[in-house]
Amino acid sequence: MNKKHERIHVDDTVLCKLCLSELGEIYSDLELAADELDLLDMPRRTFTVHFPVRMDSGRTKMFVGHRVQYNDARGPCKGGIRFHPDLTIDHVRDLAFLMVLKCSVVNIPFGGSKGGVVVSPKELSRNELEQVTRGYIRAIAEYIGPFKDIPAPDVYTDDKIMVWILDEYERIKGMHVPAVVTGKPIELAGSRARSYSTSLGGIYVLEEALSKTGMGELRKGVAVQGFGNVGENAARILYEKGYKVIAVSDSKGGILNETGLNIHEVTAHKEKTGSVRDFVGARNITNEELLACDCDVLIPAALSDQLNVSNAGDVRAKIVLELANAPTTIEADEIFFQKKIMLIPDVLANAGGVVVSYFEWSQNLNSEYWEEEKVVRRLKNVMISAFNDVYGLCDEEKCRMRRAAYQIGVKRILHAERLRGNL
């Protein structure tokens, strides 16, 4: 093992296991020097805040929030805020690093960050959710801004929460600053198509992959794990485009119908009952059964580490499109590669969200409002050209797509650092 590899393994607490394994090899392929490794290895700013919130009961409760601003060589840091009871600073750091790579892979002028609050939003009233959001923003306000670090939605945060972020920040600054946060509603300086851009961007990439590989028609259909914003929109857009969506799931379980589901009806059913389960005309399945169902394309659109050593061998899809962040563990990645399953990695597949966030930020800074057609057309161009960059390198190097994507991302970040004189 050469010195560079050793360095990566010594510091394996710093990078997520998946990044670590893939990046370890890329770093050695690219023959990175020790200073380049250090630069990629260390987030620029990592912080944890504790803030009080007056709960509906009248009692005050302390909450914990994190934010990691991993790298800003290519532009201001950019990344979502998630509300989750299991959030840890290590996970936030891994996700922040993925944001740096993602923005670089799709070549938009942002660095990467991530943040969140350790909380289960389902257990809060609407007022408590608002107070938690505002408390967190007050605690981090000094460190965010349109040219510093720009938050956005992520797991369990939505456009309503983005408005509270905007409003709290603007109260503190005493002026309007719409570009401080993206994922806002259209009526408050949001962008057309942002609400479904992660899913649509992924579908553009999928369609490009289908045409490049000559896979053509999807006879068995698509299975989507997760029915939150990303999963639901992916299922809906695929259905509206005429693809057969045979299975969907949420945290309570899934449903399957080999002849295809009417996604509009599934959405209405979920709105009424709180789950996709027990949908008439489909049979209930578990999340594990969904991942192993007989489909052409599997879309993990829920949380991390869903495809792992215990279930990757059962996957029957030909393509896995990672719309969630880090849904596949290293071991599963290797199993897919051996089984010749094409895995389109998160840093490419789900980048449509941050691409339209970039359009939103840019519209805000220029006081512009783009028509939906313009946003969608530009999203398509960015996604297809990023796919072709990655696919082209894959073809040249006969490597897996995650590796090609990381290689492109890392090179661009280091190039920016070099131009700045940091290397």
Q: Which residue ranges make up the site for ligand GLU (CB under 6 A)?
A: 78-80, 152, 154, 182, 325, 350, 353-354, 357
Cβ at position 349, least distance to ligand GLU in Å? 10
Name the minimum Å distance from CB 69 to ligand GLU.
Answer: 13
User: How many Cα atoms occupy the beta-carbon half-sphere of 359 within 13 Å?
Assistant: 28
Of residues 325 and 363, the one with the C-beta less far from ligand GLU: 325
- Catalytic residue (one of 114, 244, 270, 380): 114
Nearest to ligand GLU of 55, 89 (CB atom): 89
DSSP letter (8 states) at residue 328: B
**Cα–Cα distance for residue pair 167/106, rounded to 1 Å:** 30
Q: How many CA atoms lie within 13 A of 368 on its CB side?
A: 12
Q: How far apart are CA 391 and CA 386, in angstroms?
A: 8
152 vs 405, beta carbon nearer ligand GLU: 152
Q: Which of 100, 139, 98, 101 is nearest to 117 (CA)?
A: 139
**Residue 114 is among the residues annotated as catalytic for this protein:** yes
Alpha carbon distance 188, 170 (integer Å): 13
- In the complex, the smallest distance separating the C-beta of residue 320 from ligand GLU, rounded to whole angstroms, is 18
CA distance 240 to 237: 5
Shortest Cβ 239–ligand GLU spacing (Å): 23
- The C-alpha atoms of residue 388 and residue 373 are separated, in whole angstroms, by 22
Closest CA to 266 of 245, 290, 287: 245
- Report the nearest approach of ligand GLU to the CB of residue 112 (Å): 9
Residue closer to ligand GLU, measured from CB, 182 or 267: 182
Side chain identity, residue 88: T
Of 23 and 101, CB closest to ligand GLU: 101
- How many other CB atoms are found less than 10 A from the CB of residue 139? 19
Any idea which residues carry the catalytic annotation? 114
